[in-house]
Amino acid sequence: MYNDLSRDGDTRVFRGICLPSMKGGYYVVHAVATKRLEPSKPLGDITFKKNVINEADGKKRKRSYDPCPGSTPSDVDGFRMNLQAATPRALWLRYNKPARVQAADTSSAADEVQPQVQAPSAPAPESFNVPALALVDLVKSHGHLTGEEFLVCLQDTYTEADISEIERLTRLQSNSPLWIRYRQGMVTASIARACLTRTKNLDKEPRPHNLRGVVNLVLHASTFKSAAMKEGMQKESEAKKAYVLMLQEKGHSAAIEDCGLAICKELPILGASPDGVVKFSCECCKQTVRLLEVKCPQQTKNSFRDADMRLPKPVYETQMNVIMGILHISKCDFFVYRSKEETVTVTTEFDAESFNDYVNSMRYLFSEVPVPSPEK
């Protein structure tokens, strides 16, 4: 932005908008590249024009910063879902901007414009009838309890019906604000190996234990996604189609059901969001159910710890075993997809002993430190 203050253009307003980086008013730039504070003048007397300072890539990034980014429809929908989750009886007050009318009808039309009060309608993919508070919300009202008492409280709070409804409401997974909220404070399968390793090392360290790393994990504080992770997420749908096609070529008939956040009834601090549950309908495998775990790495070998690519990495083994334990499924197909021509499938069996050891370790962890609130 600049303002022409002279005919030759040597003196111009250097900054015509208010940014957090500004210490005072706008400045004047002279031909000798010096700056001085311009005397105040009415805003209406300043003529703003678009400058070309932001054209060069990677230069003068501070000037292109927008202190007040506009909200998108998805932002509004996400805010409404979070608000409704916290206050189910909330109402929306929506004001419809009046349409332009002719001057003769302005007074009468203005009198007819009234704000409309609307109760939030039930969305198609997700209902707002939230069955139970999220784990981190329960902490606020039960923060006085010990870790073990809090675990008992969770078991009493989350009924089978609640767990089933939460899974249904969160099937959009990362695109669902409810999914994001319910995961906070929960040890999900994706971080199971890291939490298990940290817990195993607690007894080797002097008290008080430094659990900051675990706290950040269970709060899912980091939302960083690398380029490889984003590519994998984009290819997941393509990979699932390739998996079903592979089954059909082997003479099987099956369908993949999407899943939301599955919560462990025995220990509700444990959760998992499966890539899918495979249900077979062919005569040879009728009534068979398998878990599906999809990985789309940049190199297929990156998902395995052996050269023959038959042993998934330990972090994936723990992840799959935890999900099978929560869903009570005995087998999981580990499907690694690079392209239609490059896929690897490994079927793993549920290890009950390892799962029980994991559950006991997480119970011990939460008896050591109560679930923290994300606001702290």
The dihedrals phi and psi of 231, each to the nearest 5 degrees, come to -65, -40
- Write out the CATH class of domain 135-368: alpha beta
The CATH 3.90.320.10 domain(s) of the chain lie at 135-368
pLDDT tens column, 248-294: 999 999 999 999 999 999 999 999 999 999 999 999 988 899 999 99
Write the DSSP string, 173-233.
GGG-HHHHHHHTT-EEGGGHHHHHHHHHTGGGSPSSP--HHHHHHHTT------HHHHHHH
| pLDDT score recorded for residue 131 | 65
> Residue type for 334, please?
F
Residue 366, SS3 per DSSP? helix
Q: Which of 297, 247, 289, 291 minimizes the C-alpha distance to 273?
A: 291
| pLDDT score recorded for residue 133 | 78
> Residue type for 343, please?
T
Per DSSP, 2 falls in state: B
Question: 114: pLDDT confidence band, cut at 50, 70 and 90?
Answer: very low
Say which residue, 133 or 90, is predicted with more confidence. 133
| pLDDT score recorded for residue 146 | 73
The dihedrals phi and psi of 49, each to the nearest 5 degrees, come to -135, 155
| pLDDT score recorded for residue 313 | 96
Q: Give all strands (DSSP E) within the chain, no chain letters.
A: 12-13, 27-29, 35-37, 92-94, 116-118, 187-188, 254-257, 262-263, 270-272, 276-280, 289-295, 331-339, 342-349
127 has pLDDT over 70: no
| Widest CA span in the chain | 87
pLDDT tens column, 307-362: 999 999 999 999 999 999 999 999 999 999 999 999 999 999 999 999 999 999 99
Q: Which of 375, 374, 365 minimizes the C-alpha distance to 147?
A: 365
Write the DSSP string, 285-317.
GTT-EEEEEEE--SSGGGGBSSTTS-SB-HHHH
191 has pLDDT over 60: yes
pLDDT tens column, 7-65: 444 444 444 444 555 555 544 444 444 455 666 777 677 666 655 555 555 555 555 55
**pLDDT average, residue stretch 228-245:** 89
Does the CA dihedral 129-132-137-142 come out positive or negative? positive
pLDDT tens column, 81-108: 777 777 666 666 655 555 554 444 444 4
Contact 194, 305 (CB under 8 A): no
> Residue type for 151, please?
L
| pLDDT score recorded for residue 91 | 63
pLDDT tens column, 199-211: 888 777 776 667 7
Residue 366 token pair: 């939460």
Angle between helix 314-327 and 352-368 (nearest 10)? 90
Neighbours of 146 (CB within 10 A): 10
For the ranges 138-147, 178-187, 200-209, the one whose mean pLDDT is highest = 178-187
| pLDDT score recorded for residue 74 | 67
For β-strands 187-188 and 270-272, DSSP reports them as parallel
State the DSSP H helix or E strand holding residue 149, giving kind and residue range, or none if neither.
helix 147-157
| pLDDT score recorded for residue 78 | 73
| pLDDT score recorded for residue 90 | 64
pLDDT tens column, 283-297: 998 889 999 999 999
Q: Which of 215, 357, 326, 332 minimizes the C-alpha distance to 261?
A: 326
Residue 62, SS3 per DSSP? helix
